[in-house]
């Protein structure tokens, strides 16, 4: 099937109209099989290689994502609710094998044993036990919701061990060779948090940073998770409605918490089971609020007294951040609307025709942006003038009160990116350029509900290169550096490409990161759902 016309997609830059349509795209192909349940493949199988997989690539390419969307007769409502399926592409000598295994979480085990959804997820409420009488089932609705341990978002490493995580307080240690689940870890037993992001950051010395919410007034326990310590606590502007966040930014000396207008109504969330509503019902977008960037010094744990504000925006993934000439430069992928998280219900993903077009057209596109935050702003700094003196950036930062600087962004793209539906899932040469000035980043273009192109952005001139094929849907790109590389883009890009309209033909794609030309692919003879995040 052919993609929608670029003429339609150019309308991504149009203003929001009274019908809340951001684009006018027609003829999107149905992708319902992206959210179809699959069987696990616990024993390694061979793949069919076309082209060339460079022999210097050696190791396990690990991916995570939802792989089961119904339990018995019960169906999950949201894409993020599916049971975690772990994937391994083992690469050696130009050959690739594949295996997968469902995460042995408590919720997966309980769901399977009871043949129904026992644990509530982001958009799905657990089904009452049919063996209980009416009164027992009624009383069960007054129980507080239990956090799920369905870690279907990412792979992370801590001190050489591999874990999978999501946004609750649970993660699981897994064996990267067998994909077997080894150990469940509860963050809240060590640090007073009720959840943590699935996207920690790591310093060159191996120190890992993460952020989590705490909804209690208790002190942090003395015992910590393998040496974990609390660097800083940031009070929410509205404690009953804290901001939702998926990740955070980090430079050499600062952690940046982005308090965005995607809000969590805690009362709605804790009463969700009583009302028969999932957690997603308590997540909402408040465009009347500004976005606030909070800076925390990593060495001292001190929260910067100056708050950097911007207009309402939503961001799920940051690209990079670094300090230079008295500024903190922060690049991120952002949209002017934050309602998209509640649009990814399974029912929407399975739509076709005009109904599918309507879902896409009412979702705001995401684009890469740069903010420049002056680190030396204080009460003596004059108000009303642009504090960004960097000649290479059109971003602005203006002091509007003694502890407030209002910022506007610079677009990190030209008009061409609008024809590809914006960009998400950004990646860089992380090992060498994270927290440092950089030139290239990679991501997925979104001319559909999921990525349908791979894009390389060159910040010198804001030029881009694109890999695209109709009917193919690449997942988040991952940069792998060439051993002994001397240039930033010396290496390859790897992505798992989904083929929802062709049976058993998903493949691992390898591109030359410099030229963005295809080097090879490893086709897997089993069906694989859309995957995200890696190690």
Residue numbers in the known binding site for Fe cation are 199, 246, 317
- Which phi and psi angles does 159 have, rounded to 5°? 50, 45
What residues are paired with 303 via a beta bridge?
Answer: 296
CB 149 within 8 A of CB 198: no
CA distance 311 to 290: 5
CA distance 522 to 516: 17
456 CB contacts (<8 Å, ≥6 apart)? 440, 441, 442, 464, 465, 466, 489, 493, 513, 516
Report residue 193 as tokens: 């948090």
3-state secondary structure 137-167: HHHHCCCCCCCCCCCCCEEEEECCEEEEECC
Report residue 247 as tokens: 């990740």
Query: Strands 404-408, 307-310: parallel, antiparallel or unpaired by DSSP?
Result: parallel
Which strand (E) or helix (H) includes residue 442? strand 440-445
CA distance 136 to 272: 18
The 8-class DSSP code of residue 436 comes to S
CA distance 136 to 130: 10
End-to-end CA distance of the chain: 32
Instruction: Identify the sign of the CA torsion 162, 164, 170, 172.
Output: negative
CB 246 within 8 A of CB 167: yes
Count of C-beta atoms within a 10 Å radius of residue 494: 25
CB 513 within 8 A of CB 456: yes
Exposure letters 383-403 (e unless 16+ CB within 10 A, then b) = eeeebbebeebebbbbbeeee
CA distance 108 to 105: 5
Q: Which residues are annotated as a binding site?
A: 199, 246, 317
- Which of helix, strand or coil describes residue 68? strand
- Which of helix, strand or coil describes residue 353? helix
136 CB contacts (<8 Å, ≥6 apart)? 129
The length of the chain is 535
470 CB contacts (<8 Å, ≥6 apart)? 1, 2, 3
């Amino acid at each position: 099937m052919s993609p929608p016309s670029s003429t339609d997609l150019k309308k991504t830059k149009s203003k929001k109209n009274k019908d809340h349509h951001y684009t006018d795209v027609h003829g999107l192909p149905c992708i319902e099989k992206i959210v179809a349940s699959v069987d696990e493949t616990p024993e390694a199988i061979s793949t069919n290689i076309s082209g060339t997989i460079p022999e210097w690539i050696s190791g396990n390419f690990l991916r995570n994502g939802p792989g089961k969307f119904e339990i018995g007769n019960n169906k999950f409502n949201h894409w993020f609710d599916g049971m975690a399926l772990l994937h391994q592409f083992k690469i050696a000598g130009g050959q690739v094998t594949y295996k997968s295994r469902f995460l042995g979480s408590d919720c997966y085990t309980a769901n399977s044993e009871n043949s129904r959804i026992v644990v509530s997820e982001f958009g799905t409420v657990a089904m009452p036990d049919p063996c209980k009488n009416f009164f027992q089932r009624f009383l069960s609705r007054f129980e507080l919701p239990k956090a799920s341990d369905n870690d279907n978002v990412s792979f992370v490493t801590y001190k050489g061990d591999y874990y999978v995580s999501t946004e609750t307080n649970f993660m699981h240690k897994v064996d990267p060779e067998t994909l077997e689940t080894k150990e469940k870890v509860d963050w809240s037993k060590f640090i007073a948090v009720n959840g943590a992001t699935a996207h920690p950051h790591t310093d060159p010395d191996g120190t890992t940073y993460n952020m989590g919410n705490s909804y209690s007034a208790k002190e942090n326990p003395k015992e910590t998770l393998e040496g974990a310590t609390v660097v800083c606590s940031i009070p929410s502007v509205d404690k009953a409605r804290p901001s939702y966040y998926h990740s955070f930014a980090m430079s050499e000396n600062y952690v940046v918490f982005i308090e965005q207008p995607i809000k969590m109504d805690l009362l709605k969330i804790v009463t969700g089971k009583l009302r028969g509503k999932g957690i997603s019902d308590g997540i909402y977008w408040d465009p009347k609020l500004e976005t606030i960037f909070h800076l925390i010094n990593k060495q001292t744990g001190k929260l910067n007294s100056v708050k950097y504000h911007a207009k309402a925006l939503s961001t799920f993934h940051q690209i990079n951040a670094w300090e230079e000439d008295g500024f903190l430069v922060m690049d991120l992928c952002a949209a002017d609307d934050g309602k998209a998280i509640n649009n990814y219900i399974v029912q929407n993903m399975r739509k076709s025709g005009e109904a599918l077009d309507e879902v896409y057209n009412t979702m705001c596109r995401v684009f890469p942006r740069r903010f420049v935050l002056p680190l030396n702003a204080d009460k003596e700094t004059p108000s009303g003038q642009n504090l960004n003196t960097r000649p290479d950036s059109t971003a602005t930062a203006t002091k509007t009160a003694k502890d407030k600087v209002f910022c506007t962004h610079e677009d990190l793209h030209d008009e061409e990116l609008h024809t590809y539906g914006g960009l998400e899932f950004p990646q860089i040469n992380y090992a060498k350029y994270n927290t440092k000035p950089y030139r290239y980043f990679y991501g997925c273009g979104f001319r559909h509900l999921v990525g349908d192109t791979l894009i390389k952005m060159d910040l010198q001139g804001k030029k881009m290169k694109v890999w695209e094929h109709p009917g193919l849907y690449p997942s988040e790109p991952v940069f792998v550096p060439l051993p002994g590389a001397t240039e930033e883009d010396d290496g390859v890009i790897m992505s798992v490409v989904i083929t929802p309209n062709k049976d058993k033909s998903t493949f691992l794609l390898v591109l030359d990161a410099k030229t963005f030309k295809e080097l090879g692919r490893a086709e897997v003879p089993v069906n694989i759902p859309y995957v995200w995040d890696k190690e």
